């Protein structure tokens, strides 16, 4: 597939990095030479210095024979104009990153398609939806749902009271064989492990399991965490993510939102009918105490400053708040946050890159996600007739060692795989993989 990525910032860089190891012809356009140097140094793509709204630059990139143009610069207008111009010059499809919520409304989709923009990506909405999922699954560090929740991937941090500690995978599977789950990865320190039968659960491991709806409560109990419902939520930051998150949660939970800007506070109070909006500096521990942070079940920090988000979440954790979620848009901080005690983090740029990637992967991949801070990807495939995955039961397949099949959906029902599982055409299969063997996995499903 021939792809043009407009913008070599963090979203464009991660897209190029994810795709550069595969058989795609990728060109990256940016006006910033430093961004292009970073992309060029760590990916196998062609970089072009210039504006993506320039007809000559797009023609130099071969836009007329391009399958997909992805416009993800920091400018909404440049992204939209790039998509429109690229389609007029012959590109088959175009995706634009936007920063305005009104553009993604259902009634606007046809208008943008008529202009040539096939899909709009709004990072703040994607991040807000991710926060809501984490609140709904209180004990989880990560939550991904497949086929409307028929299968779920849940990340959990193991504390010292977990009954499976020091057990091998095989021992845990035998002892808890009535539960509907499969462990697909362990993140330990800075390393991600695709587990085998003799791997052992250790304290502070971040464990990822695939489960059906029936198994979610059992998994959370087994992890040593009660599935307590979060009712009292404090949000720091009234920007796009904080505003959208409060709107999605208010009415079901008691929400307090703290914002330092007085004009924005007034606007938020009008927009959020069932949220208590407070003007103040959320870094002020006296203000947090006055507003009852010790009575909060969750603290969500989504200001524009990553350091503020990390520090305030650690402060909330120290004061006894059960669940903390920090927005960390500096990708370099992500490995650190996994080790200093943060429960969950969101990175809207990586979330955006993951969302876009599903349009780029081969046609038999339904979806793909990269877990933040974890060197692994989660892929959902549809099984094609006569594909290699249908030839034998799982135990007889020579599946790559750095990948594992977790579960599948057949006839609208989710199932956890075992060694005897045999796949049929149209099954939807969830695979957990380290990045180095995705191309090997695709051969089984093509």
Closest to 441 in 3D by CA, of 362, 328, 374, 323: 362
Residue 378 is classified by DSSP as E
Structure tokens at 273: 């009918």
Q: Which residues contact 146 (CB under 8 A, 6 or more apart)?
A: 152, 153, 367, 380, 409, 414, 428, 430
Give the pLDDT score at 369: 61
Confidence of residue 225 (pLDDT cuts 50, 70, 90): low
Mean pLDDT of the chain: 87
What pLDDT, in 10s, does the model give residues 271-329?
Answer: 999 999 999 998 898 999 999 999 999 999 999 998 999 999 999 999 989 889 999 98
- Indicate the range of 37-41, 63-67, 82-86, 360-364 predicted with least confidence: 360-364
The mean pLDDT value for 338-348 works out to 79
Residue 86 predicted with pLDDT over 80: yes
Residue 68 pLDDT: 93
> For strand 377-382 and strand 2-6, is the pairing parallel, antiparallel, or unpaired?
unpaired
Residue 102 has pLDDT above 70, yes or no: yes
**pLDDT over threshold 70, residue 70:** yes
Mean pLDDT for 327-353 is 79
Percent of the residues in the chain that have a pLDDT greater than 70, as a whole number: 93
Determine whether 87 is exposed, middle or buried from the number of CB atoms within 10 Å of its CB (0-12, 13-18, 19+): buried
Q: What percent of the chain has pLDDT over 90?
A: 48
Pairing relation of β-strands 254-259 and 232-236? parallel
284/121 Cα distance (integer angstroms) = 35
Segment 189-201, tens digit of pLDDT: 778 888 888 899 8
Res 158: pLDDT: 82
The Cα–Cα gap between 162 and 139 comes to: 13
> Phi first, then psi: what are they for 208, rounded to 5°?
-115, 125
pLDDT (tens digit, 9 = 90+) per residue, 5-55? 999 998 999 888 877 766 789 999 999 999 999 999 988 899 999 999 999
89 alpha carbon, distance to own chain's centre: 33
Strands 365-370 and 377-382: antiparallel
pLDDT score, position 106: 81
If you write DSSP's letter for every residue of 185-248 in order, what string do you get? EEEETTEEE---TT-B--TT-EEEEEE-GGGHHHHHHHTT---PPP-EEEEE--SHHHHHHHHH
pLDDT tens, position by position, 145-190: 888 889 988 888 887 778 888 888 888 888 887 777 888 888 887 7
pLDDT at 291: 92
**Which one-letter DSSP state was computed for residue 250?**
B
Where residue 363 falls among pLDDT bands split at 50, 70, 90? very low
pLDDT of residue 298: 94
pLDDT score, position 145: 82
Which is more confidently placed, 436 or 258?
Answer: 258
For the chain, domains (ranges, CATH) are 2-121 (3.40.50.720), 124-212+338-446 (3.30.70.1450), 229-321 (3.40.50.720)
In this prediction, residue 371 carries a pLDDT of 65
Confidence at residue 260, expressed as pLDDT on a 0 to 100 scale: 93
Contact 11, 352 (CB under 8 A): yes
Segment 228-249 mean pLDDT: 92
Cβ neighbors of 403 (< 8 A, separation 6 or more) are 194, 431, 432, 433, 434, 437, 440, 441
Instruction: Report how far residue 426's alpha carbon sits from residue 410's, in angstroms, rounded to the nearest whole number.
Output: 8
Please give the Cα distance from 205 to 425 (Å, whole number). 36
Say what the pTM is: 0.74
């Amino acid at each position: 597939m021939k792809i043009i990525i407009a913008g070599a910032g963090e979203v464009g860089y991660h897209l190029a990095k994810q795709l550069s190891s595969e058989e795609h012809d990728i060109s990256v356009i940016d006006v910033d030479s430093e961004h292009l140097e970073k992309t060029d140094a760590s990916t196998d793509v062609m970089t072009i210095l210039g504006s993506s709204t320039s007809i000559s630059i797009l023609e130099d990139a071969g836009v007329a024979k391009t399958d997909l143009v992805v416009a993800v610069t920091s400018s909404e207008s440049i992204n939209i104009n790039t998509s429109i111009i690229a389609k007029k010059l012959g590109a088959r499809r175009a995706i634009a990153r936007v920063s305005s919520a009104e553009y993604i409304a259902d009634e606007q989709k046809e208008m943008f398609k008529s202009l040539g923009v096939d899909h709009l990506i709004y990072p703040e909405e994607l991040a807000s939806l991710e926060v809501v999922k984490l609140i709904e699954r209180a004990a989880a560090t990560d939550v991904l749902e497949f086929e409307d929740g028929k299968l779920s991937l849940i990340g959990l941090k193991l504390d010292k009271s977990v009954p499976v500690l020091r057990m091998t995978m095989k021992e845990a599977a035998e002892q808890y064989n009535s539960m509907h789950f499969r462990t697909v990865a362990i993140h330990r320190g800075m390393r991600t492990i695709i587990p085998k039968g003799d791997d052992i659960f250790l304290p502070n491991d971040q464990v990822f399991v695939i489960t059906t709806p029936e198994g979610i409560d059992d998994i959370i109990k087994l992890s040593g965490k009660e599935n307590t419902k979060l009712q009292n939520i404090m949000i720091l930051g009234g920007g796009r993510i904080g505003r959208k998150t409060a709107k999605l949660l208010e009415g079901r939970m008691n929400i307090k939102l703290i914002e330092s800007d007085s004009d924005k506070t007034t606007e938020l109070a009008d927009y959020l009918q069932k949220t208590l909006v407070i003007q103040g500096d959320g870094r002020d521990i006296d203000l947090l105490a006055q507003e009852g942070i010790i009575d909060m079940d969750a603290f969500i920090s989504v200001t524009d400053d990553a350091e503020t988000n990390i520090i305030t979440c650690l402060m909330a954790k120290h004061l006894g708040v059960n669940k903390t979620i920090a927005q960390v848009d500096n990708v370099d901080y992500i490995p650190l946050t996994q080790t200093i005690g943060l429960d969950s983090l969101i990175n809207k740029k990586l979330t955006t890159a993951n969302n876009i990637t599903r349009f780029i992967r081969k046609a038999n991949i339904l979806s793909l996600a990269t877990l933040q801070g974890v060197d692994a990807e989660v892929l959902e495939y549809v099984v094609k007739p006569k594909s290699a995955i249908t030839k034998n039961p799982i135990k007889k397949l020579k599946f790559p060692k750095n990948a594992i099949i977790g579960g599948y959906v057949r006839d609208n029902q989710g199932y956890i795989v075992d060694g005897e599982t045999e796949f049929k055409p149209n099954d939807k299969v969830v695979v957990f993989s380290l990045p180095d063997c995705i191309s090997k996995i695709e051969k089984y499903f093509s």
